[in-house]
Amino acid sequence: MKGRIKSFGRRAGFGFITAETDYFFHIKEWKSYFNPEPDMEVEFKPVKTRKGWKATEVRRLKDGK
């Protein structure tokens, strides 16, 4: 799935991706060389948890990987 980083807190180590809804992501799910930044285009796998939607295997689209 594709989306954009809505927000990311470096100190906290988590943020949100917006697509058709908002997805939580933790820095441990970040698979790209570049640091996550707001408005960055990303690709991820959505997972439904008991707390809501979560993004896994998040990577920057321009990495081409």
Q: What angle do CA 60, 64, 65 make, to 5 degrees?
A: 85
Q: Is the pLDDT of residue 62 over 90?
A: no
* Domain layout of the chain by residue ranges: 2-63
| Tokens read off for 25 | 């992501």
Beta strands at 2-9 and 14-18: parallel, antiparallel or unpaired:
antiparallel
| Tokens read off for 19 | 């697509």
Structural fold of domain 2-63: OB fold (Dihydrolipoamide Acetyltransferase, E2P) (2.40.50)
Q: How far apart are CA 25 and CA 17, in angstroms?
A: 7
Dump pLDDT digits (tens) for 6-60.
999 999 999 999 999 999 999 999 998 889 999 999 999 999 999 999 999 999 9
SS3 state of residue 61: helix
The pLDDT-based confidence of 65 (bands split at 50, 70, 90) is: very low
pTM over 0.85: yes
Which pLDDT score is estimated for 57? Answer: 96
